Chains A and B, each alone.
Chain A
Amino acid sequence: MIKRTVEISREAVHLGLRHKQLTFKRDGEIVHSIPCEEIGMVVVDHPGTTYTHAALRHLAESNAAVVICGVNHLPAAILLPIADHSEVVWRLQEQIAAPKPVCKRLWRQIVCAKIDAQAAVLPDSCGGRQRLKALISHVKSGDTSNVEARAAKIYWQYWYPEVEFRRDPDRGGLNAQLNYGYAVLRAAIARAIVSAGLTPAIGLHHRNRANPFCLADDLIEPFRPMVDERVRELHRQGYDSLSQECKGELLKLLTQQTTLGGEKGPWMVQLHRMLGSLVRCLRKEQTALEIPVPCE
């Protein structure tokens, strides 16, 4: 079942727990409550929010991720449950022992999927689409020739030609919207990784960095264009800052319909299938990673 997403940014609330439900208290009165087991993600972006220990604990026990936003309204930290999985140790060992060739092959597949998704986002008429499609066949195992970067250069050039745009993670406007979208997907992926019994810190390609979310950063790549497309669409509709409505629209990406192996479903649900397939790949029971693709 698709889990619910809660975003808190309009008014401060006190998050508590009562009868295993997350309660929203304002001025000492409970204004709303949601069963914790139905929650997938809580995004908190109001500096006045307060929590009880029990609320955070029960959210963790219900496998929900809590995302804490910083002063710039972008997710600053993710509170993830310690995997409540029966095979955690085995999975961890498999993940650490994953042979290099397997990781490199998977990374190649992820890069190909990303470029393919990027091509799908570009307008039909522009030449960028063909150029990207042509690049896909050049991706080698482990992407040793860094085709990913070449594709990115072409992609951003054609992405939104009507607007002067430079991808810069520290800028506001479109960049802030993109960052927010990516961060939300990253948190959802991290949650799926943990619930599959894997550790987000050990990546396939992103390695040896001071980054606790290497694996999430690997797996997010094919989905970034999904954010890009939505942000461009929202910007055309007149959303030019990271308002609450805009954030709400971006959070809806989690429920975007995708297909995987002929089956349709919300992205958030398909993610778990993808992680299941990753586990089989690491065990060498399967060679190709199953990656959900947005429905047309």
Chain B
Amino acid sequence: MAMFDLPTDTKQARKEYALFRKKLLEDGFYRMQYSIYLRPCASKENAEVHLRRLRAFLPPEGEVAVLSITDKQYERMEFMLGKLRECRPGMPNQLELF
């Protein structure tokens, strides 16, 4: 789970923000809420790979916090307030049938 707070006051800052967001998406993250992105990882090693990548494309300004949570912890997360916009995605399967 990556949570970030980036400045958008100047044109340059907005550009960096957009670039950072794009790279997050390209790395397989999806948006859970504004500025909170999630990415399921198959293993701890795999999570480290993505953590390293994220570190490499960090924007110079602003704050990014990354929290690794386990499958179990994710499951226990409670979603409150209003109705769910859509089903929250679970862990991806190794085999997917379409």
Interface residues of A (CB under 8 A from B): 1-2, 4-11, 13, 19-21, 24, 32-35, 37-38, 46, 244, 247-248, 251-252, 255
B46 within 8 A of A: yes
- Contacting A at CB under 8 A, from B62-98, are 92-98
- Contacting A at CB under 8 A, from B8-52, are 22, 25-28, 30, 42-43, 45-46
Establish whether residues B95 and A13, one from each chain, have CB atoms under 8 Å apart when the complex forms. no
Establish whether residues A255 and B22, one from each chain, have CB atoms under 8 Å apart when the complex forms. no
Establish whether residues B28 and A244, one from each chain, have CB atoms under 8 Å apart when the complex forms. no
How many residues of B are counted as interface, with CB atoms below 8 angstroms from the partner's CB atoms?
Answer: 17
By beta carbon, the residue of chain A nearest B23 is A19
Q: How far is the CB of B71 from chain A (nearest CB, A)?
A: 16
Q: How far is the CB of A51 from chain B (nearest CB, A)?
A: 14
Interface residues of B (CB under 8 A from A): 22, 25-28, 30, 42-43, 45-46, 92-98
Establish whether residues A244 and B97, one from each chain, have CB atoms under 8 Å apart when the complex forms. yes
Establish whether residues B92 and A11, one from each chain, have CB atoms under 8 Å apart when the complex forms. no
Establish whether residues A252 and B28, one from each chain, have CB atoms under 8 Å apart when the complex forms. no
By beta carbon, the residue of chain B nearest A7 is B97
Listed by A's residue number, 23 A-B pairs whose Cβ atoms lie within 8 Å are A1-B43, A1-B45, A4-B94, A4-B96, A5-B94, A5-B96, A6-B95, A6-B96, A7-B95, A7-B97, A7-B98, A8-B98, A9-B98, A19-B22, A32-B96, A34-B96, A35-B27, A37-B28, A46-B98, A244-B97, A248-B95, A252-B95, A255-B95
Q: Which residues of B contact A244 (CB under 8 A)?
A: 97
Establish whether residues A4 and B25, one from each chain, have CB atoms under 8 Å apart when the complex forms. no
Q: How far is the CB of A246 from chain B (nearest CB, A)?
A: 11
Establish whether residues B98 and A6, one from each chain, have CB atoms under 8 Å apart when the complex forms. yes
Which interface residue of A4, A8, A10, A19 has the most chain B CB atoms within 10 A? A19
Q: Which residues of A contact B43 (CB under 8 A)?
A: 1
Which one of B92, B95, B97 lies within 8 Å of A9 (CB-CB)?
B97
Q: Which residues of B contact A32 (CB under 8 A)?
A: 96, 98
Q: Which residues of B contact A8 (CB under 8 A)?
A: 98
Q: Which residues of B contact A21 (CB under 8 A)?
A: 25-26, 28
Establish whether residues B28 and A248, one from each chain, have CB atoms under 8 Å apart when the complex forms. no
Cα distance A8–B42 in the bound complex, in angstroms? 22
Establish whether residues A251 and B95, one from each chain, have CB atoms under 8 Å apart when the complex forms. yes
Which one of A1, A2, A24, A33 lies within 8 Å of B98 (CB-CB)?
A24
